[in-house]
Chains A and B, each alone.
Chain A
Amino acid sequence: MALLEVHNVTMKFGSLVANDDVSFGVEKGSVVGLIGPNGAGKTTLFNCISGFYRPTSGKLLFKGQDVTNLPAYEMARLGAVRTFQVVHPLKEMTVLDNVLVGAFLRGADTDKAHEIARDCIALCHLEDMSGRMAGGLPIGYKKRLEMARALATGPELLMLDEAMAGLTSTEIKAAVEIIKGLQKRGITLLVVEHIMEAIMSVADKIVVLDGGIKIAEGPPQEVVNDERVITAYLGAKFSQRLKAAQGGDPRE
């Protein structure tokens, strides 16, 4: 049994079908990448899984429990927490306060919450910023704040929605290291990402969406060689470059 099971999820907005009969599983302890061109329905699927949308049809199982209609805060309490593609800092609160909100999920004890928060802030390299107002942070820090805050809730499944978009290559490397660190801590990850080099190096499995439909699922090397994925998303040139890099570190 996978930690998260997505069964035939369809999400319609009026006549627009954003997700069409999507199914896949996220194994405990793994990193699953969700990729696809813009408008493929990745964020919509994220919203369905994290409880912000109720799928039109289909079923979601988390830890074997039917969570299809649970609201977002219940999902977070169960241990499935997401970050937002467009960063949502709690602007008029400090970085520490932001992370504390997450940390309070596992208990009302203030000292304990501070302990958790400091830990997560350190893990995401935000120590120097902890007293700053979140609204005034540079984007790279805001992205890491999203991650630190979600992490503070003590999730079993962490869903990162384009946590690396808009970052510099150094920042991306740092983010990849953070993700690897999270995996070592036993956290399962579902990651929406456009930066192929980054996702190739961390994902155990990649699910590809196009036009709301799942067109491929499998290990990264397999997926990048898939003809349909190349046509829909990667493009032939890119695919060749990735193949050339095979065996070496795909980030270089």
Chain B
Amino acid sequence: MKNRKRSVDFLWLGLLAFLALLPLIPGLLRSSFTQHVAIQILLYASMAQAWNILGGYCGQVSFGHSVFFGIGAYGAGMAVVKYGMIPWPGAFIGAVLAAAVAVVISYPCFKLKGHYFAIATFAIVEIFNRLFMVWYWVGGALGLDYSFTDQGWTHFVWYESKRGYYFGVLLLFLLVFGVVRWIERNRLGFYLRAVREGQETAESLGVNSAKVKLMAMALSAFLAALCGAFFAQYNYRVDPPMVMSLDMSMKFVLITILGGLGTFYGPLLGAALLIPLQEYSRAFLGGIGGGVDLIIFGLLIIIVVVYQPRGIMGIIDGIRVKAKRSKEGGE
């Protein structure tokens, strides 16, 4: 067992403990706005991590994830608004549907290699956006507006404080990151990376690459849809441009690239850097007009990709290696 780490991962457990205790530290998350930023960071980190399963670990870049995110959002929204139910079953059904749609869409798309897969996923966002715009049953362009209900975990809405949402999104974060941690250490994780690094090689070693890609896609879409359900609950409404848009799709991609593709902490680091920038720029520069956040996203991405294509995780690794070398040199 000399080459394996079986020890407890203190970094991960410490991070979870910190995040769980964060609202209890007086003064830290006092204003509603800082709470909002913290919730957004965890939500977008979870979204990016869901995308990372397919795009980072498996190397299949999808610009279609806002569709799955949207289906999840509509799942919760339909349950609450159309059927007057609690959102939980809707979220679950939405996630299952998203996974099913993902598999149906990607089955033909995975036959396309490299960039063509990415291009095909672009088109899917447009198709679903238009479809939901004119689909009367799901509220069309007006979307679905939540009416007032009791607040609390059953209905998953809170009006007075954002603390409930914070713990809700923390659970989501725990689920998505927990799944990826499990994958990373088990066969599926090795197969995902093998398919990314060389499909032919993977197949020569008995890996059914088509099946592995479909599994990654289904899992990724399922988790993205759960994030969407949270998003609908958090905003008390859902409409097509909010969820099913290229803007939204880009966030899945860009946060992960910024943080580090195919790394466990990358999505969290990417979100922790981009989301505060996005929220504060929107709060303070909002008067200039929409899209300031995306301009900042774009600039950051250019800087990162030029300087370190492996993202923030790449920068951290670089520093680590340097530190190790200078330590060894000093001895």
Enumerate chain A interface residues (CB-CB to B < 8 A): 50, 52, 71-73, 76-77, 81-84, 88-93, 96-97, 100-102, 104-105, 108, 110, 113-114, 118, 130-131, 149-150, 152-153
Contact = CB atoms under 8 A, between A and B. Distances in A.
Contacts of B209: 73
B14 to A, nearest CB: 24
Contacts of A110: 185-187
Given A90-B198, A97-B190, A110-B186, 16 more contacts: A52-B203, A72-B200, A73-B204, A73-B208, A76-B204, A81-B206, A90-B193, A90-B202, A91-B197, A92-B193, A101-B193, A101-B207, A102-B206, A105-B205, A108-B186, A130-B3
27 contacts: A52-B200, A52-B203, A52-B204, A71-B203, A73-B206, A89-B198, A89-B201, A90-B193, A90-B201, A90-B202, A92-B196, A92-B197, A93-B194, A97-B190, A97-B193, A101-B191, A101-B193, A101-B194, A105-B205, A108-B186, A108-B187, A110-B185, A118-B3, A131-B3, A150-B204, A150-B205, A152-B205
Contacts of A131: 3
A82 B204 contact: yes
Interface residues of B, number: 23
B4 interface: yes
Contacts of A152: 205
A81 B193 contact: no
Interface in B24-52: none
B205 A81 contact: yes
B190 A100 contact: yes
A113 B187 CA distance: 9
B204 A81 contact: yes
A159 B3 CA distance: 29
A101 B202 contact: yes
A37 B60 CA distance: 39
Interface string B170-204: 00000000000000011100110110111011111
Contacts of B185: 110
A88 B198 contact: yes
Interface of B: 3-4, 185-187, 190-191, 193-194, 196-198, 200-209, 262
B204 A104 contact: no
A145 to B, nearest CB: 11
Given A73-B207, A73-B209, A105-B206, A93 B193 contact: yes
B203 A73 contact: yes
Contacts, number: 86
- 10 A-B pairs with least C-beta separation: A76-B206, A90-B197, A105-B206, A88-B201, A72-B203, A101-B194, A104-B187, A108-B187, A73-B203, A102-B205
B213 to A, nearest CB: 13
B3 A96 contact: yes
Contact of B204 (A50, A91, A93, A96): A50
Nearest to B2: A118
A77 B204 CA distance: 9
Given A92-B197, A104-B187, A110-B186, A77 B206 contact: yes
A144 to B, nearest CB: 15
Contacts of B186: 108, 110
Contacts of A89: 198, 201
B3 A101 contact: no
A88 B198 CA distance: 7
A161 to B, nearest CB: 10
Given A93-B197, A96-B3, A76 B190 contact: no
A73 B208 CA distance: 6
A88 B204 CA distance: 10
B197 A149 contact: no
Contacts of A84: 200-201, 204
B205 to A, nearest CB: 5
B170 to A, nearest CB: 28
Contacts of B204: 50, 52, 72-73, 76, 81-84, 88, 150
B4 A114 contact: yes
Contacts of B203: 52, 71-73, 76
Contacts of B196: 92
Contact of A104 (B3, B4, B190, B201): B190
A81 B4 CA distance: 27
Contacts of A108: 186-187
A153 B206 contact: yes
Contacts of A96: 3
Contacts of A88: 198, 200-201, 204
A93 to B, nearest CB: 6
B9 to A, nearest CB: 15
Contacts of A100: 190
